[in-house]
Amino acid sequence: MVSWNRRRIWALLVGCCALFSALTQLANTSGAGDAARAVAQTFAEPEHGNIVVRWNAIAQNAIVTVGAQPIQRSQLWITLVHAAIYDAVVSIDGRYEPFKVRPARLRPASREAAAIAAAHGVLVRLLPAQRETLDAERASSLAAIPDGISKGNGIAIGEEVANTLLQIHDGVIPDVPPYVPGTGAGVWQPTPPAFANALLPGFARVTPLALVSASQFLPGPPPSLLSDEWTRDYNEVKAYGVATGSSRTDEQTEIGLFYTEHAVAQYSRAFRRYATENRFSIRQAARFFAMVNTAILDSQIACWDAKFHYNFWRPVTAIRAGAIDGNPLTEPDPTWIGLAVTPAHPEYPAAHGCWTSATARMLEHFNGTKRVRFALDSMVTGTTHVFKKTDDLRAEIVNARVYGGMHYRNSVEVGATLGEQVADWVAANYFRSIGDQNDQ
């Protein structure tokens, strides 16, 4: 279900939204976009009483707002933060399986202090230039915990987890030989308006945190350019994804722009809201943030592996070159441009399909039901979408990427399936309860 904040003035917002989308995409790929980030900082959130929720906000600010990291590196780093928090917190009472690190068993120990030290320890190693600010955040958070052996032991646990985790996974995206785009029908090429080089091809070689390998769930190839499926998808995105003169309704335009914000910022806000609305304990929050971020990260690594395996062309390339695909039912439009700026990486499968579907599936695993109230807001459109079923979240992202003009329907559906497979694997093999104990 969708709640509209500014329906009466929506038509006036669309042009501004498209501009904001372009600024955000530039920020994600080049480190620019100060204006877009300044607007994002004006978004007001409630105070975070849960220390895990608070340090998610601190991590997002350090990585995305101040660090200006692209989406892929941002997700890798924020996942490492939450993996460290999880292992530090659950090591103290043993109600859940450890994920990556088993620290020394110091007792008594404060879970809050352990979470703070773990998050801080990861962030200062990944972002050493921000040490002064992060040290101040650490001191402020720890000041709320009474001094004593429990606090000291918690700090020691958190620091050990952070140090050991980054020895296991250093958070570095490997350097790879320069990616050379291909030519011809069906092959990815740099896209307008920036015609930027492919973004972080080395991300496909990042070691997943949970999967056996990045190619564990490699999907089959995109459809043949002579197939009915290709004809359908080509003509759908051509009609519904074009910037001007489209077949979209105002509501569909809003949906197309809604998900063009930096995904780590957008979804981290939603996760904080979800944890706060559901009054998560520190243990619940530590487990939830670790589960959902690990599923997202590994879905993105798997998605990147598939993208650079198939190297499929984007709609803006295909539609302008429709005459060369050999299909008489795909008429070209040499000036076609999408509603949203096309991200600088191959099209198939859709990364947001992987991302959002992994989120939806992990919400199902965490709650044991598809009937979950989950709210997302967008700094691009200024609106909030409230979903009461995870299936609705998955269905909307499929439509959103078509309306935005960045993807074909089949690509988002394949990405959604990949995201579900990754989330199922994570839930089946990690973050499991030890014994039959209540989560308090």
Task: State the pLDDT at residue 27.
Answer: 41
Across the range 63-89, mean pLDDT stands at 98
Other Cβ atoms within 10 Å of 273 Cβ, number: 18
What is the structure's pLDDT at 35?
A: 31
Tell me what the pLDDT averaged over the chain comes to.
91
Overall average pLDDT of the 399-404 stretch: 98
* Strand partners for 387: 374
Q: Is 355 exposed, middle or buried (0-12, 13-18, 19+ CB in 10 A)?
A: buried
| Domain-wise residue ranges, the chain | 2-44+185-429
For the residues 10-23, what does the mean pLDDT come to?
A: 42
What tens digit of pLDDT does each residue of 273-289 get?
A: 999 999 999 999 999 99
Residue 3 three-state SS: strand
Only one residue has tokens 């496909």, namely 204
Local structure of residue 242 (DSSP, 8 states): B
d(CA 13, CA 122): 39
Residues 6+ apart with CB under 8 A from 289: 52, 56, 82, 85, 86, 271, 275
Q: What is the pLDDT of residue 28?
A: 42
What does the alpha-carbon distance between residue 192 and residue 405 come to, in Å, rounded to a whole number? 12
What's the CATH architecture for 2-44+185-429?
Orthogonal Bundle (1.10)
pLDDT, residue 93, reads 84
Pairing, β 2-3 against β 384-387: antiparallel
Residues 370-401 have pLDDT tens digits of: 999 999 999 999 999 999 999 999 999 999 99
pLDDT in the model for residue 41? 36
pTM: 0.90
**Helical residues (DSSP H) of 321-371, grouped into ranges:** 351-367
Peptide bond into 108 cis (omega under 30): yes
